[in-house]
Amino acid sequence: MSDRGHLKKTAHLAEVPASWESGPRGARPRRLLSTRTIVVYGTLFVAAAYYLLPLYVMIVTSLKGMPEIRLGNIFSPPLEITFEPWVKAWSSACTGLNCDGLSRGFWNSVMITVPSTAISIAIASINGYALSNWRFKGADIFFTILIVGAFIPYQVMLYPIVIVLREIGLYGSLSGLVIVHTIFGMPILTLLFRNYFAGLPEELFKAARVDGAGFWGIYLKIMVPMSLPIFVVAMILQVTGIWNDFLFGVVFTRPEYYPMTVQLNNIVNSVQGVKEYNVNMAATILTGAVPLLVYFVSGRLFVRGIAAGAVKG
């Protein structure tokens, strides 16, 4: 770009020798590599390397055989690519309890994540809708408790929930964990939906009421169809959050229902047997794959979701 500017300038000078036109003309010349550019891109690339390195090491380690890992360094690409570790991680790696790999944890996580996401979003969106369009006396008090509650460390509420779940006979079951995820997802999701619905033009709501639609009619026929983006954001938030959960999985389920993260930790940190780093890394990638996939597919919406959900910690 600056080159073209220069060419133009000289050509013009040759044609019009008028003295007052002889000064700077056209685009300001810019050196391709100014100090500023070097500093900016240099820093960014170094930072990018720091962020990418672990992913790279995970992948190359998972593709190496154990002898190669013991001899070589963790950064060198595999001399001989093997998918053995991946197969083992998925189907036959041992935790302290069993040896059927991560696959069990994967399906447990699916069975936890799908209903938890659906139910928590359904309840929170209705909360948000009631709070923004059908305010009743006292509603804001509950909402305030909810939002303050988002900051309370989970540890404070763990045992009371254990008691409640035990009372209703759901402690240790998948449904119990679904309820826990619904509870702890509620503050941030309710806030998200309340703010979104409050931003929709109030005239629409009024018009629908004049047309005779009631609480559920307006919610299902007007609000939900208008709010698909925020539902997607909420879904991203919940799927990654619930998939990545460890604490609730450990506390509220029996070992046969352990989600993938717990299973992974048990495989990698199991004290029995020889450490198989390649299998461990393959297992780690497998566990991270679902949220990563969500992240890469959703892009900008993910950023919006985490910005909203950051409060969740």
Partner 1 sequence: MTGQATDRTTVPRRSGRPNRLTRNLSAKIASIPMMLTAVVIFLGGTLWTVLYSFTSSKLLPRLRFVGLDQYERLWAAPRWLVSIENLAIYGIFSLIFSMVIGFVLAALMDQKIRFENTFRTVFLYPFALSFIVTGLVWQWLLNPEHGIQSVVRAMGWAGFSFDPLYDSGIVIYGILIAALWQGTGLVMCLMLAGLRGIDEDIWKAARVDGIPMWKTYLFVVIPMMRPVFVTTLVIIASGIVRVYDLVVAQTSGGPGIASEVPAKYVYDYMFQAQNLGQGFAASTMMLITVAIIIVPWAYLEFGGGRKRV
Partner 2 sequence: MTSVSVKDLRLSFGQVTVLDQLNLDIQEGEFLVLLGSSGCGKSTLLNCIAGLLDITDGQIFINGRNVTWDEPKDRGIGMVFQSYALYPQMTVEKNLSFGLKVAKMPQGEIDKRVARAAEILQIGPLLKRKPSELSGGQRQRVAIGRALVRDVDVFLFDEPLSNLDAKLRSELRVEIKRLHQSLKNTMIYVTHDQIEALTLADRIAIMKGGVIQQLADPNTIYNAPKNMFVAGFIGSPSMNFLRGEIAADAAGRPAVVAGGVTFSLDGYHAGETLVPGRKVVLGVRPEHVKVDEPGGTGEVHEATVDIEEPMGADNLLWLKHAGHTMAVRTAGSRRFSPGTRVRLTFDMTLASLFDAESEERI
Residue 139 partner contact from partner 2, partner 1, none using kind-dependent CB cut-offs of 5 to 8 Å: partner 1
d(CA 35, CA 32): 10
Distances (CA, A) of 40 to 2, 30, 44, 48, 286: 20, 16, 6, 12, 35
Residues in 6-25 that interact with partner 2 by CB under 8 A? 8, 20-21, 23-25
d(CA 130, CA 135): 6
Residue 5 partner contact from partner 2, partner 1, none using kind-dependent CB cut-offs of 5 to 8 Å: partner 2
Binding letters toward partner 1, positions 73-112, x by CB under 8 A: xxx-------------------------------------
d(CA 122, CA 190): 10
Residues in 159-218 that interact with partner 1 by CB under 8 A? 159-161, 163-164, 182-183, 186, 190, 214-216
- Can you tell me whether residue 156 is helix, strand or coil? helix
Stretch that binds partner 1, among 99-107, 195-203, 224-232, 301-309 (CB under 8 A): 301-309
Is there binding between residue 50 and partner 1 (CB under 8 A)? Answer: yes
Tell me the closest approach of the beta carbon of residue 208 to partner 1, in angstroms: 14
Tell me the closest approach of the beta carbon of residue 194 to partner 1, in angstroms: 11
Is there binding between residue 29 and partner 2 (CB under 8 A)? Answer: yes
Residues in 196-225 that interact with partner 2 by CB under 8 A? none
Is there binding between residue 28 and partner 1 (CB under 8 A)? Answer: no
Q: What is the sign, positive or negative, of the torsion defined by CA atoms of 222, 223, 228, 231?
A: negative
Is there binding between residue 287 and partner 1 (CB under 8 A)? Answer: yes
Among the listed residues 6, 7, 13, 26, the single contact to partner 2 using CB under 8 A: 26
Q: How many residues bind partner 2 (CB under 8 A)?
A: 11
- Can you tell me whether residue 17 is helix, strand or coil? coil
- Can you tell me whether residue 172 is helix, strand or coil? strand
Among the listed residues 127, 227, 238, 253, the single contact to partner 1 using CB under 8 A: 127
Is there binding between residue 272 and partner 1 (CB under 8 A)? Answer: no
Residue 113 partner contact from partner 1, partner 2, none using kind-dependent CB cut-offs of 5 to 8 Å: none
Is there binding between residue 5 and partner 2 (CB under 8 A)? Answer: yes
Is there binding between residue 66 and partner 1 (CB under 8 A)? Answer: no
Tell me the closest approach of the beta carbon of residue 203 to partner 2, in angstroms: 25
- Return the H-helix or E-strand segment holding 124: helix 103-133
Is there binding between residue 246 and partner 1 (CB under 8 A)? Answer: yes
- Can you spell out the DSSP letters for 205-272? HHHHHHTT--HHHHIIIIIHHHTHHHHHHHHHHHHHHHHT--HHHHHHB-GGG--HHHHHHHHHT--S
Torsion, Cα 278 283 289 291, to 10 degrees, reads: -130
d(CA 105, CA 92): 12
Residue 141: what residue type?
I
